[in-house]
Every structure is written in C-alpha cells, then in structure tokens.
Amino acid sequence: MEICRTIFTFLLVVFSIQGILGEQCLSDQWPPNSDRVVPTHVVNLDLPPTERWKEIAAVYKPAIIDLVDYIKKFVLSISPELQFLVSLVDTKLPAMADTLPVPYGDEMKGISQATGVPLGEIVLYNIFYEIFTLCTSIVAQDQNGNILHGRNLDFGLLLGWDMLNNTWTLSEKLRPLITQVNFTQNGQVLFKTTSFAGYIGVITGIRPGVFSISMNERYGLKGGYIGLIEWIFNINRKQSFVTFAMRDMLTKAESYDQAVKYLAEVKLTAPCYYILAGPKSGQGVIITRSRNGSDDVKPLGKDNLWFLIETNYDNWKKPPFFDDRVTPCIKCMEAKGKNQVTFQSLFNVFSSRPMLNKLTVYTALMEPATGRLESYWQYCRDEEAPCAPW
C-alpha cells in the first residue's frame, strides 16, 4: 500500500509538471472538423415518460451496456470484497426508481425496457455523474453586453487508467454516448442539453431566451456519496439530485432570476457549482453550493470582471498546485480580450491545455439570447503537446 502511495505521489508531481509545460492559449482550433460535431436527438415531453427515451436507447444500447459493465468490473478489480457494492445495484437501486420525483423514475424504467439493461444498472448509470465530474465553465460578456457561456466536461478521474494508450478508460467509453438532446413540448423546443444517451439529468443545458446552465462538481467531506446513501436508505429524501434540479429549472423557469433563486436555495444531495448565464447584459453567476444552501454567489461584473471562470474549487481560494486550470484560463481569456467573446474564441480557450486534458470528452458553447448550442467531441493527444491527465 505504501508503495502505491509513493508511486501515485510521484505520478502526481510528474503530471503537474506536464500540465505546466503544456500551458497554451491557442487561436487556430476553430472551426472543428465536421466529424467532431455531436449528433442531435429529440426527447418529446408530450409522450409518456416510459416512451420518451425509447429511440435514443435503441441507438445507443451497445454503448450503454458496455459502460455499465465496465463500471461493475472496475469496482470488483479494486477488491473482490467490494462485491457487496455491486450486489446493491441489483438489490437496492431498482426500488430507488420509484422514490424519484416524477417523471425521472418512469423515464429510467423506459430506458431499461428499451435496452434490456436491468433497472438497477440504469439507475446507477444515472446517478454516478453526481460524484465524478470535473469541468471548466466560462461565462463572458463582450463590449456590447452580449453574453456567451461555454464549458468543458471532464469525466472519469481515477476510474481506470489505460497504461497502453495513456488514457482514462471511462472517458473513452463515454465519448460514444455523447449527444445533444432537444427536449420538445407542443411541437416546440423547450430546452436543449449536451449529455450522454440515456442520462436523464442535465449537466449542460440552455432554455432559449431565458438562461443557460452548467454544473461542476465541488469537492467536500460531505459530498455526493452521503446524499446518495441518505436517499437510498430513506434517511433524507427532502433534497434534489443536482442534475435533476437543473432539468427542473430548464423545464419550468420563466426567467433567469427565477432559475438563480431556486438553484441558490434548493436542498441538494451533493455540493456543486451552478454556473448560469442569461440573455441580458450582466446576467451571469457562479453559485457555490453546499447541500443545504449557498456558500457564495458571485455575479458577473464583480471586481469589474467581464468573465467568470469556475473549475472544481471555491473561486475565492487558490486552486491546488496539481490542478490549476483557473490561472491559465484567466491568462488566455485576458489575452483574447473583451472584443473576442465569440464561439470561435471560447472554443480556442477550451481547446488549450490544461483546460483541455485527458479527461475532457466534450466542449459545449451556448448563447442564451438566441438559444444557440453547439457541442463538439474533444480529444487531448500527447503528440500535439504534453497533455495533463486532468
């Protein structure tokens, strides 16, 4: 065990040095190749919940099965003694679907029916994003008051390192599942998301003309594991899953201010960061959430800043030396300048190291005023420049 700790510490230092050496502020990554455009599918909210995901589930069935199988095998590879955790998937998680707010449980049941994947495994697939997500999110305002919102989704930390290919195994298995989902109601697009096929919560989303939102994980001693345990064993269900709260607001919120207020106050199963942008000048905010309330609300324009950046650490504290994506991101945004707040400029920032790293699976770009959402697969390849693992 001590040898493992020593090796891990050594790798941490090496990777940190890699990340420093690999800092970039690129200007030539736009436009992405057409084969990197994430496909779009539709979820019709007028259908019964059990039928909404049927088409998407059928298309992505093999990838969903492969991912869930990997998660179970990975847990057992850590120690055979963890078999009890895998057994919980079959004994406890299926019943959890019936405890979730409408319509989430029925949607999971529909996905299970369409794929043939046991319900407990579909529930697992839909809750493990609550506790393993790393990200970089940016809200920026140009000199004319126009607001753009973008994010990199980084996922798969410590869930299997592929020594042969120098990649995170789970990150690679997630890419085939990435899709843009347009949620429609009465024949109109109500909101759009960038997510994973069969994942019913929201990590990145936009309601045209109202607001856009991204969620980043926040580390803490009272993290998502505690909230999940409380929910599964019926200790406390007067709380919302962080990604379901986002979808609730995308479905119901009629204004940016309404979304901000709800997401600042709702009780949650896990701490997180909510990053929101609105269609009007000055509408941008980072909400630093504990499970029971907000620890900080940082608006766009504070300290005369024309942009906000959030990774996975409290924005009023210095990030750890081994994972400082904020400092190079600030440098890059300042180098671009307020007159370059465009999809092109933001994509170049998100494609620069270490904002782009081995965990990065997609970049999403949003414009709240128009409802424009563009999503692209991302890859960090060592042959182009040293690439940090996170």
Please report, for the domain that includes residue 371, its CATH number: 3.60.60.10
Measured from the Cβ of residue 95, the count of other Cβ atoms closer than 10 Å reads 14
Element (H, E) at 272: strand 272-277
CA atoms within 13 A on the CB side of 250: 34
For residue 31, what are the contacts with CB-CB under 8 A and spacing of at least 6? 344
Instruction: Give the active site residue among 135, 272, 332, 380.
Output: 135
Q: Do the domain assignments include residue 157?
A: yes
Q: For residues 140 and 152, give the distance between their C-alpha atoms in angstroms, rounded to a whole number.
A: 15
- Give yes or no: 135 in active site: yes
Position 158 in a domain = yes
Task: Count CA atoms within 13 Å of residue 189 on its CB side.
Answer: 19
Q: Report the pLDDT value the prediction gives residue 82, as an integer from 0 to 100.
A: 56
Residue 61 forms part of a structural domain: no
Establish if 182 belongs to a structural domain.
yes
* 37 inside domain: yes
Round to whole Å and give the CA distance between 289 and 299.
14
- CB 348, CB 28: distance < 8 Å: yes
Q: What is the pLDDT of residues 129-180, one digit of tens each?
A: 766 677 999 999 999 999 999 999 998 777 788 888 888 998 999 999 999 9
Flag whether 355 is in a domain.
Answer: yes
pLDDT-flagged residues of the chain (< 50)? 1-10, 13-14, 17-19
Q: How many distinct structural domains can be found in the chain?
A: 1
φ and ψ at residue 142, rounded to 5 degrees: -85, -175
- Nearest CA to 309 among 135, 181, 175, 65? 135
Q: What is the C-alpha separation between 78 and 84, in angstroms, rounded?
A: 13
Q: Tell me the residue range of the domain where 321 lies.
A: 2-48+136-377
Going by C-alpha positions, the residue among 390, 329, 311, 367 that lies closest to residue 23 is 329
CA 52 – CA 200 distance, rounded (Å): 10
- Helix 256-265 to helix 242-252 angle (10° resolution) is 150
Tokens, residue 321: 């030396």
The predicted structure's pLDDT at residue 85: 65
Q: Residue 223 corresponds to which tokens in the numbers above?
A: 């993290």
**Greatest pairwise CA separation for the chain in angstroms:** 60
Question: Which run of H or E residues covers position 108?
Answer: helix 104-115
Instruction: Check if the beta carbon of residue 347 is closer than 8 Å to that of residue 32.
Output: yes
Report CA 364 to chain centroid distance, whole Å: 10
358 domain-assigned? yes
SS3 274: strand
Does residue 130 lie in a domain region?
no
Find the helix packing angle between 83-91 and 119-127, rounded to 10°: 110
Length of the chain in residues, anyone? 390
pTM of the model: 0.93
* Separation CA 15–CA 334 (nearest Å): 26
- Identify the three-state secondary structure at position 187: coil
